């Protein structure tokens, strides 16, 4: 997926801007793997083989995405596809 295309995407839940974390690119600089994070609701959307997984929550299965999310992000992700920051766990 091209970076220009990703810049046009928004959170499918609240339409907020997304923050991109690139994991891997191909030789044309297209993004192959990465994470899109909603700046407002903290939902996490993985990018797999250049395709962002941005289906509504009710059509996503956490148990299927969990291994991928664990591999792509160092932070924990809840079963509602939201990022759990390490700071909130320490309180």
pLDDT of 88 above 60: no
Report how many domains make up the chain.
1
Identify the helix (H) or strand (E) that includes residue 6. Answer: helix 3-6
Segment 20-40 shows an average pLDDT of: 92
**Domain coverage including residue 30:** 3-89
Contact (CB, 8 A) for 21 and 73? yes
pLDDT for res 63: 82
Structure confidence by residue, pLDDT tens digits, 60-87: 888 888 888 887 777 788 777 887 765 4
Alpha carbons 63 and 74: distance in angstroms, whole number: 17
pLDDT of 20 above 50: yes
| Exposed/middle/buried for residue 86 (C-beta within 10 Å: 0-12, 13-18, 19+) | exposed
């Amino acid at each position: 997926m091209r970076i220009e295309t990703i810049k046009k995407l928004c959170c499918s839940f609240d339409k907020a801007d997304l923050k991109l974390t690139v994991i891997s690119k191909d030789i044309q600089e297209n993004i192959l793997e990465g994470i899109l994070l909603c700046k407002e609701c903290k939902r996490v959307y993985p990018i797999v083989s250049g395709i962002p997984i941005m289906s509504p929550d009710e059509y996503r299965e956490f148990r299927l995405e969990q291994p991928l999310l664990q591999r792509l992000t160092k932070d924990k992700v809840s079963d509602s596809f939201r990022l759990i920051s390490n700071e909130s766990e320490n309180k």
